[in-house]
Amino acid sequence: MTDNTLDRSRVAGSLYGLLVGDALAMPSHWFYSPEKLRADYGDISGMVAPRPTHAESMVQGMSYTGTWDILHDKARYYTGHQSNTGEGLSQAEKDARRDDHGNYVGHTPDDRVHYHATLKAGQNTANGCLTRLAMRYLAEANEDGDGYDPDEHLRRLQDYMLAPPEPDNDQQLINHNDVYLDVYLRGFFTNASQGKSLRDCALTQRDSWSIGSLDGVVLAIPTIAAYAHEADWYVVGRAVEHHMLTHRSVTVTASLAVLVPLLLSLYRGTDLRTTLDEYMSKMRPPKITGRALADSYVNHHGPGNIPPNEKWRQHMELDDSETTRDLVHRMLDWDDQDVAGFRDRECSRLSTACYCEHALTTVLYLAYKYAEDPEMALLQNVRIGGHSTARGAVLGAILGAAHGVNAVPFVGELCAKESIDQEIAALISTIPSRRKSNLRPYKRDHHHNTATYVSGGCGAQKTDLGRMDPILITVLRDVLGVEISPLTNNVAAALSMVLYFKIAIEAVTWFRLRYSTSLYSKQLLHITLASSIIFWSLFDDSHWSWRLNTLLPSVMMARYIYKGAILKDPEDLEVLTLSRTSSPSDLLFGSLQFAAVLVWLGLYQFRTAEAAIIIAALGVGDGIAPMVGHWYGRHDYQMPLASQKTMEGSVVGVFLGTVVGCYLYMYLLGIPLLPLRIVLAYGGIAAVVEGTAPGNLDNLTVPIAIHFSLDKVQEWLPA
């Protein structure tokens, strides 16, 4: 992984996605019945505030026996009701006070407190707040290098949980102000209040089955982001170290063994579905179905009454008859509630409970099914109910890593957005950028529009140069306070290219008429069309419409074909400007070829160093060579099948023009600069190929030669 450049927008996207997925699902959390969820909230389509009560809440059946005050003013809800507290009640009255798991909670559905009754719309749960606490600590600890200290992190966790809540603190920086605290927190601080070292306070899945919860995975995601520049196996180690502070769980560790490399692959720019298939093929789904798990809870009057060995097997036995990939593909046409549910459906394959083996599989299913629609994926996660906050956090992290920060929905609805922006930016700023100096130029991953470049013998490095906000979006948003969509931005960028070239055509035509020469006019137009790639930096490639960068060269291709092959007017001003012989057919050679190359580069080498080199060779090098030869040429030469050239034009024009143009375009496009010897090699290739190209084919032979020489140049000129 250290040999791979990260897309920081994807890393940031995974953190925003985590917090969005948690906050969006907060009101619906632990509604195992989608019908009851819809009865209270309708069809949720954004972030809303929770109602005071929750028909399926178990909070009043929970308890905390520690002496450290982590419940504060919420302690009144943790009454720890057991069935023996219902003396004097009939069996029917007792049953009415049981939750859907069969646990006795001592309250009827209309009198049960909501898990997050004290939170506002867009706020994060206690677990979501603890991921933010980790982000803040990691940003501070790693400011000058790796400074993460698990003991210091636990001390900050202690301070945060012991701080009295401030209900009006929307930013949740001092305390989470949440009602519901997971059993891992209550167990941790019970042990801590008994004098145990904080390192020794975490509960184990062997002793407490619910420790195998997806929440342990969620808490480790900031660590994955903070160390995403390191080797995959080391990042797994760091994530495991972090989750073991609070969740000593086999299934949490197993889940991170999949999630860590999956996220790291997405940070590098891989395609979401392809990556999911790769890692799901290494997994097996849980053997027990969601419905069977729910029935076992009810039959035993709560999961705590299931014999320990049987409970352990429920979570550890897998179905070896198919991979998780096979299962997910088989379920893609199913109703989502048949895929994951609790007791509303007869045959839900997976459970919507918190357990990793079910919850992570459900997350991967939703990520795969709704890969191109992050908003729908997150909303469907909410609508199927259950432990939707942790699932939403992991799902949001995956989708944010796949699509980048600009594609994460509902970010503007986060209650603490201002603080979250600062926290994520601070953490991202500490991630080192590891780029080797022996890189060959970028190529493009066409599955997900990301740039790739390979270092000799060291594997592939990828970066996505288009995920951060483009200039137009940034200026309108930050300076004028105007929000525009990526589509609007890209249409404006494409039209700017057309307007730029239209102005250039008018200027060059005036020049052609005034000085009655096509030499300079043709070459000036050549250079102008090539330099239109500087507008690429305006495009937002998080949206398909980035391909509108090919609008200008596509229009020019159509014009050249029409005027050169159909109209055939030798007096046409464009013919006189662009042709060497005043023949309309000239447009069908160099000019048409050049426009076609621009279309190819715009679609397949968008914002890559390869594109910068090719355009430098064609636009700058080949563009100024005839003028240099005309002015200063003293030494003519002519290769077989090629037209006459001058040494001055080839050396000063093509060779040096390519070198200078290459650095100019890479700088303007924000592409890491290549070593001088590499660029000199490409300048030499361009000069030789241009000087020996048959007839009017240099606009084809030069890009072809550069394209196919990339590996060889890297091989011949190692760092």
Residue 444 lies in a domain: no
Task: Find the domain containing 565 and state its range.
Answer: 469-607
Asked if 414 and 535 sit in the same domain, the reply is no
pLDDT at 642: 76
41 pLDDT above the threshold of 60: yes
268 pLDDT above the threshold of 60: yes
Lowest mean pLDDT among 292-296, 595-599, 643-647: 643-647
pLDDT at 348: 93
353 pLDDT above the threshold of 90: yes
Residue 647 lies in a domain: yes
The one-character DSSP state at 341 is E
User: Which range has highest mean pLDDT (57-66, 200-209, 388-397, 531-540)?
Assistant: 388-397
Residue 453 lies in a domain: no
Lowest mean pLDDT among 35-49, 254-268, 289-303: 289-303
Specify the 3-state DSSP secondary structure of 541.
coil
User: Which range has highest mean pLDDT (284-298, 523-537, 588-602)?
Assistant: 284-298
**How many domains are there within the chain?**
3
Residue 434 lies in a domain: no
Lowest mean pLDDT among 237-241, 445-449, 549-553, 711-715: 445-449
Asked if 184 and 93 sit in the same domain, the reply is yes
Lowest mean pLDDT among 126-140, 291-305, 618-632: 618-632
> Is there a contact between 7 and 400 (Cβ–Cβ < 8 Å)?
no
Specify the 3-state DSSP secondary structure of 348.
coil
Lowest mean pLDDT among 331-340, 346-355, 487-496, 574-583: 574-583
The one-character DSSP state at 608 is -
- Average pLDDT in the 78-96 region? 63
Cα separation, 582 vs 600, in Å, equals 28
Residue 135 CA neighbour count, 13 Å, CB half:
29
Q: Evaluate if pTM is beyond 0.75.
A: no
Cα separation, 411 vs 393, in Å, equals 13
* Confidence bin at 621 (pLDDT 50/70/90): confident
Residues near 276 by beta carbon (within 8 Å), at least 6 away in sequence = 262, 325, 328, 364, 367, 368, 371
pLDDT at 479: 55
Asked if 617 and 603 sit in the same domain, the reply is no
Residue located via tokens 């701080």: 163
* Confidence bin at 578 (pLDDT 50/70/90): low
Question: What tokens appear for 72 in the block?
Answer: 């504060």
Question: What tokens appear for 222 in the block?
Answer: 């900031």
* Confidence bin at 581 (pLDDT 50/70/90): low
Question: What tokens appear for 155 in the block?
Answer: 């001390």
- Average pLDDT in the 547-555 region? 93
> Is there a contact between 265 and 254 (Cβ–Cβ < 8 Å)?
no
Asked if 544 and 629 sit in the same domain, the reply is no
Question: What tokens appear for 651 in the block?
Answer: 């050396």
703 phi-psi bin (left φ>0, alpha ψ -120 to 50, beta other): alpha
2 pLDDT above the threshold of 50: no
Residues near 689 by beta carbon (within 8 Å), at least 6 away in sequence = 698, 701, 702, 705
pLDDT at 452: 38
First-to-final CA distance of the chain? 19
Say which residue, 616 or 716, is predicted with more confidence: 616
* Confidence bin at 505 (pLDDT 50/70/90): confident
443 pLDDT above the threshold of 80: no
pLDDT at 466: 36
Asked if 106 and 14 sit in the same domain, the reply is yes
Mean pLDDT of the chain: 85
pLDDT at 101: 57
Asked if 602 and 623 sit in the same domain, the reply is no
- Average pLDDT in the 35-58 region? 93
Residue 68 lies in a domain: yes
Q: Which of 607, 624, 652 is the last residue of a domain?
A: 607
User: pLDDT by residue (tens digit) across 491-504?
Assistant: 999 999 999 888 88
pLDDT at 608: 86
687 pLDDT above the threshold of 50: yes
Cα separation, 480 vs 112, in Å, equals 47
pLDDT at 345: 80
List the CATH number of the domain containing 152: 1.10.4080.10
Cα separation, 575 vs 149, in Å, equals 71
Whole-number percent of the chain with pLDDT over 70: 84
* Confidence bin at 241 (pLDDT 50/70/90): very high
Cα separation, 237 vs 260, in Å, equals 10
Q: Which of 548, 575, 607 is the last residue of a domain?
A: 607
Q: Which of 308, 131, 117 is nearest to 215 (CA)?
A: 131
> Is there a contact between 408 and 16 (Cβ–Cβ < 8 Å)?
yes
Question: Dihedrals φ, ψ of 72, to 5°?
Answer: 55, -130
Asked if 659 and 550 sit in the same domain, the reply is no
> Is there a contact between 397 and 14 (Cβ–Cβ < 8 Å)?
yes
Q: Which of 435, 330, 342 is nearest to 386 (CA)?
A: 342
Question: What tokens appear for 307 in the block?
Answer: 């014999």
pLDDT at 474: 56
Residues near 540 by beta carbon (within 8 Å), at least 6 away in sequence = 406, 466, 469, 470, 473, 486, 489, 490, 546
Name 351's bridge partners. 341
Q: Which of 389, 406, 425 is the last residue of a domain?
A: 425
Question: Dihedrals φ, ψ of 32, to 5°?
Answer: -75, -20
What size, in residues, is the chain? Answer: 719
* Confidence bin at 409 (pLDDT 50/70/90): very high
Alpha-carbon radius of gyration of the chain:
31
Cα separation, 45 vs 383, in Å, equals 10
Residue 441 lies in a domain: no
* Cα angle value 472/475/479 (rounded, 5°): 155
User: How many helices (H) and strands (E) would you count in the chain?
Assistant: 30, 9
Asked if 158 and 212 sit in the same domain, the reply is yes
Cα separation, 584 vs 567, in Å, equals 8
Asked if 29 and 112 sit in the same domain, the reply is yes
Asked if 62 and 210 sit in the same domain, the reply is yes
Say which residue, 82 or 66, is predicted with more confidence: 66
Burial class (CB in 10 A: 0-12, 13-18, 19+), 498: middle
Residues near 165 by beta carbon (within 8 Å), at least 6 away in sequence = 72, 73, 74, 118, 174, 175, 176, 177
* Confidence bin at 100 (pLDDT 50/70/90): low
The one-character DSSP state at 104 is B
Residues near 256 by beta carbon (within 8 Å), at least 6 away in sequence = 217, 220, 236, 239, 240, 243
Strand ranges inside 86-160, DSSP E: none
User: Which range has highest mean pLDDT (279-288, 518-527, 577-586, 639-648)?
Assistant: 279-288
Asked if 599 and 617 sit in the same domain, the reply is no
Residue 257 lies in a domain: yes
> Is there a contact between 14 and 398 (Cβ–Cβ < 8 Å)?
yes
Residue 216 lies in a domain: yes
Cα separation, 55 vs 39, in Å, equals 10
Asked if 319 and 332 sit in the same domain, the reply is yes
301 phi-psi bin (left φ>0, alpha ψ -120 to 50, beta other): left
- Average pLDDT in the 41-64 region? 91
